[in-house]
Structure 1
Amino acid sequence: MRIQVLGLCRFSMLVDSDFQTTGADLDRNRAILYAPKRMAQRMRWFENLCLPPLLWQSDPDFTLILATGEDLPEPWITRLREIAEAVPQIRLEQVAPGRHAEICRTLLARHTDPGADVVAQFRMDDDDAVAVDYVARIRRDYPLVERLMNGRDPVALDYGRGLVLEQDPGGQLSLRCELTHFWCAALTLYFPGGKPRSVMNYRHDWMWRFVSTVSRIDRVMWIRGLHGNNDSPRHPYGHRRIEMTAEQLDDALFDRFGLGREELFAALSPQ
């Protein structure tokens, strides 16, 4: 059985409205998205948190669409092009402003393998991370969702244990472990093959309302980045903190993502 693993990461992708924290004015949104200070922060988080665990996936058979605006300014677009050239799994797509859902649907359809029996899609923000065995787990855990597949509707697999990396307004970073429900990172939607579909048609925190779901909380599977430039507001619901010592958090950060706290915190600190 061929399971295609296909992800979408939006890096300052300018669209018509669809922002939670801005309005519908395209020029205003462009100015907000492309502000030099904001772009420097997004690139720091992408290069130092999001990207390394993708490079170190134990199963390298996946595709990640990296979507950004057609007018993303320098030096950021050159940085993204260099990353895409160096990482065979990344497909850089520059898109014109349009309706968010339509853009994402088109990009995912473009990179969907028509010969796949199942297309396992995921979305991730450029300031989040997935564990180094995430792609392998997508395939290994498929038997858990296979019994719910009916040849028509998707099934979601939610990994509910992860780390929250939060940066306060003063730039100080903290790390904690939480149990959550249907956060964005490491949430996989398995589609039957044969017809291009889009994970972006499903609001992640409402996914349980529309599709059958399976939840796993056995291992830390993601890092959620929180800071002043998130589009999504802080989640006020469902927080269940798992008490871990600093040493246990450091072990989880290294064992699950290949990252060291001291080096990561230094790289993410405001320049």
Structure 2
Amino acid sequence: MMRIQVLGLCRFSLLVQGDFQTTGEDLDDNRAILYDPARLERRMRWFETLCVPPLMAQTDPDFTLIVATGEDLPEPWAGRLQAVAEAVPQIRIECLPPGRHAPLCREALARHVDPTADVVAQFRMDDDDAVAIDYVAHIRADHRLAARMTHKHHPVVMNYTSGIVARLEGDDLTLHAEMAQNWGLAQTFYFPGGEVRSLMNYRHDKVWAKVPTLTLPGPVMWIRGHHDVNDSRGHLIGKNRVAADPDELPRLLERRFNLDLADLRAALTLPLDRPLPGDGPAIPPA
């Protein structure tokens, strides 16, 4: 039976040089931006309340998600990341030294690649994104569509184009449906097994120019968070909106992502200087 390893990467305020729009080459400047307490609290709330619950509810739990962060990530956020990892056995925290972005991430992925796998399926997500609860199951089931294009020298990439944008402006959280290709969300790289390969060798938005890609406009497969500390500033959001019944979107959150809109709105609109309700991370019990 073919063994497909599913391996993901999520960067949480990773202190690096290069490849981002809101940080640059100076590590001291980048540290001041990334470790600003208000920014860290915003990112952590999105991670705990939007990103993590769908991962905990995956219908296929056989996956690993590397959460890469800086080795000097301050408290209490470093402790909250560890608490999430303790609650979600698929999560592995990699505390990395400052350096160049792409090589650090490639090395972190390499440490977790299974050399015995026939296929290594890699994906990336931001800490304010989410994937549907059957995303891992789709990664395995849909490999058959990519198998004939697989080549020892390059991956095959699968894009799921249907998703939801969750937009936070002030104390208002709104949802809309969107179609998007090569945003990097629910974008799967199928690498042939037997050697260490990395999606970090490819820009998610330009990968179509380098390797074979497939597009599947099927069920809603992702959520993109949009707020005041996005790196991309959301310049692509809204260009391909899809008409949707506003009453259906909350039902989609629950059915496809294990999320409750009222709880999500309460957590994400709570003032940043007030703690979330409860004694620990805002993640549901297993």
Looking at structure 2, the residues matched to 239 and 251 of structure 1 have their Cα atoms a distance apart, in angstroms, of 24
Aligned 1:234-253 pairs, distance under 5 A: 234-236=234-236, 239-253=239-253
Q: What's the offset of the Cα at 1:195?
A: 1.1
Partner Cα separation in structure 2 for residue 207 and residue 217 of structure 1: 18
Which letter maps to 1:130?
V
| Cα shift at 1:17 | 3.1
1:269 Cα deviation after fit = 0.7
Letter in 1 for 2:248: Q
* Cα offset, 1:76, TM superposition: 0.6
Q: Are the counterparts in 2 of residues 17 and 25 from structure 1 also a CA contact under 8 Å?
A: no
**Deviation of residue 237 (structure 1)?**
7.7
Q: Show structure 1 runs of 5+ residues with no match.
A: none
The corresponding residue for 2:27 is: 26
Secondary structure of the structure 2 residue equivalent to 1:30 = helix
Which residue of 2 is the match for residue 49 of structure 1? Answer: 50
Length, aligned pairs only: 270
Shift of the alpha carbon at 1:13? Answer: 0.4
Secondary structure of the equivalent of 1:183? coil
SS at match of 2:16: coil
Alpha-carbon distance change, 162 to 75 in structure 1, aligned in 2, over 3 angstroms: same
Asked if the contact 2:162/2:179 (under 8 Å) is kept, the reply is yes
1:178 maps to which residue?
A: 178
Q: CA deviation at 1:239?
A: 2.3
* Offset of residue 18 of structure 1: 2.8
Residue 234 of structure 1: how far off its partner (Å): 1.8
Instruction: Give the conservation status (yes or no) of the 8 Å contact 1:18–1:24.
Output: no
Contact 1:164–1:223 (Cα < 8 Å) also in 2: yes
| 2:14 matched residue in structure 1 | 13
2-structure distance, mates of 1:64, 1:159:
19
Task: Report the residue type matching 1:92 in the other structure.
Answer: I
CA distance in 1, matches of 2:86, 2:168: 30
Match of 1:157 in 2: 158
- Residue 89 of structure 2: aligned partner: 88
Aligned residue identity for 1:134? Y
2:269 matched to which residue of 1? 269
- Aligned-pair CA distance for 1:114: 0.3
- Give the superposition deviation at 1:110: 0.4
* d(CA) in 1 for partners of 2:154, 2:82: 36
RMSD: 1.2
Question: Given the alignment of the two structures, is residue 79 of structure 1 paired with residue 96 of structure 2, yes or no?
Answer: no
8 A Cα contact 2:178 2:238, kept in partner: no
- Which runs of 5 or more structure 2 residues have no equivalent in the other structure? 272-286
Equivalent position SS for 1:147: helix
**2:17 counterpart letter in structure 1:** D
Q: Superposed, which structure 2 residues align to 1:22-171 within 5 Å? A: 22-168=23-169, 170-171=170-171
**Counterparts of 2:177 and 2:56, CA distance in 1:** 23
Between 129-138 and 141-150, report the one with greater CA deviation: 141-150
1:117-151 deviation digits (Å, cap 9, x = unpaired) = 00000000000000000000000101000011123
Q: In structure 2, what residue type is equivalent to 1:25? A: D
Provide the rounded CA distance (Å) in 1 between the counterparts of 2:212 and 2:186.
17
Counterpart code for 1:254: E
- Normalising by structure 1, we get a TM-score of 0.97
More displaced stretch, 239-248 vs 25-34: 239-248
Counterparts of 1:231 and 1:178 in 2: how far apart (Å)? 19
- Three-state SS of the structure 1 residue aligned to 2:6 is strand
2:233 equivalent in structure 1: 233
Partners in 2 of 1:191 and 1:47 — Cα distance? Answer: 30
1:108 is matched by which residue type in structure 2?
L
Q: Please give the secondary structure, in 1, of the residue aligned with 2:24.
A: coil
Q: CA deviation at 1:238?
A: 8.2
Partner of 2:224: 224
How many Å separate the matches in 1 of 2:84 and 2:113? 22
State, as a whole percentage, how many aligned pairs show the same letter: 59
1:204 paired to 2:207: no
Distance 2:234 2:81 in 1: 28
CA distance in 1, matches of 2:185, 2:237: 17
Alignment match, 2:215: 215
